[in-house]
Amino acid sequence: MNRTAVTAILKNLDQLMPELESLYKDVHAHPELSMQETRTAGLAADWLRKAGYEVTTGVGKTGVVGLLHNGDGPTIMLRADMDALPIEEATKLPYASTVTQMDNQGKSVPVGHMCGHDMHVTWLVGAAVLFAQARDVWKGTLMIVFQPGEETAEGARAMIEDRLLQRFPKPVVVLGQHVMLGAAGDIAGSAGPITSAADSLQIRLFGRGAHGSMPQAAIDPVVMAASTVLRLQTIVAREVAATEAAVITVGVLQAGTKENVIPDEAIIKLNVRTFDEGVRTRVLAAIERIVNAEAEASGAPRKPEITPLDQYPLNVNDVDASNCVAEAFRAYFSPARVHHTGPSPASEDFGCFATVWQVPSVFWFVGGTDPAAYAKAKAEGTLNQMPVNHSPLFAPVLHPTLETGVETLVVAALAWLTT
């Protein structure tokens, strides 16, 4: 790490911080659902233009790409996601969201930045501005990417399908980060798998409806669905080795409209997380086997329909690139702030960019929890009671979370940029 270059780029961070804090609160208070991030994208594009970037908007519908050419040197891609969730915020912050928006089903839903993508946008804006203000200490090209639709696994793919590879220079590395539960100011990561593969499925089970008083005339899809849900849990318990990992979560079970009517179908929606392609293949095959077997055992009039909903790839950090980033972090931050972590069961479409470009990528985590509160919960064994991403109470503390995320992007990028 070139400490002189890092210091020169970050010297204006304190001066920029009030504007970044205002930007964060603004984006937090005005969240937008996946693939609808027009306001957020507009703010990001405006910041990049003012900093002197060549800006392209509407990439993959609402994505933004900014290029800053600064002499001979490598191209580094820095990425942040922009979308929020259909969750009603319960933080009671003065800048809490009260927004509602129409989802892709035409339903009005509350919207909140309960996964921290507002923080990601602010971090990337801060790093982009600081690099632009200190062009005399680095050489190369920065490619700043604000990605839509991470929460629905649409955004990275949409940008790629919108000819991202043909329209923009190929980077030598793709870098990204995520705010998570953890002491604010701390950083964590590891080489190898860092976030899980995820597959979401809808299962439609078919029965035969009847009056609730005459079950003998029915083929009950409620019982069929209940048996299926229970049997699905045996996949992890009995078909996945103790040395492997998988999670199967049934998040939706829907059937019927009235207590004395046996319906004619039931819906199950489930989510699968895995860290190995072989395990993923076996788990998905087991789901199909169990669903079909339970339907047949119930005498279902037709086979179930199994429909994929969305899919996230396994996100694997390149070993050499991860070690390079970790070394740079330890050199800039105190080693006590840089932690090794195992793979997270959360999922990301971040890895899609590096996969299609066939270049290394590194993804890491930045803590966003009040350090004193985190230390107290850890000592008391109550970390599992603290609000995490996707909780209506998830709210990263502003400082030092804002500063740390900007610093990590600058330090990591400079591990490659010519100085």
Q: How many residues does the chain have?
A: 419
Helix, strand or coil for residue 183?
A: strand
Q: 155, 349 in Cβ contact below 8 A?
A: yes
Helix, strand or coil for residue 124?
A: helix
Distance, in Å, from the CA atom of 80 to the CA atom of 363, rounded to the nearest integer, reads: 11
Q: Where are the beta strands (DSSP E) in 239-373?
A: 246-255, 261-262, 265-274, 305-312, 315-317, 338-340, 361-369
Residue 390 labeled ligand binder: yes
Cis (ω within 30 of 0) for the bond into 400? yes
Cα 176–chain centre separation: 11
Q: Report the sign of the C-alpha dihedral through residues 252, 256, 262, 266, in that order.
A: negative
Q: Report the sign of the C-alpha dihedral through residues 96, 101, 103, 109, in that order.
A: positive
Q: CA separation (Å) from 252 to 249, 268, 293?
A: 9, 5, 20
DSSP assignment letter at 304? P
**DSSP character string of 145-174:** EEE--TTTT-HHHHHHHTTHHHHSPPPSEE
Q: 315, 347 in Cβ contact below 8 A?
A: yes
Residue 265 labeled ligand binder: no
Cβ burial, residue 129 (10 Å; 0-12/13-18/19+): buried
Residue 403 labeled ligand binder: no
Residue 117 labeled ligand binder: yes
DSSP assignment letter at 114? -
Q: Which two tokens stand for residue 43?
A: 């703010």
Q: 126, 13 in Cβ contact below 8 A?
A: yes
Q: CA separation (Å) from 219 to 37, 94, 287?
A: 45, 53, 21
Distance, in Å, from the CA atom of 186 to the CA atom of 404, rounded to the nearest integer, reads: 8
Is residue 53 left, alpha or beta, with left meaning phi > 0 and alpha meaning psi from -120 to 50? beta
Residues forming the annotated binding site for Mn(2+)? 115, 117, 151, 178, 390
Residues forming the annotated binding site? 115, 117, 151, 178, 390
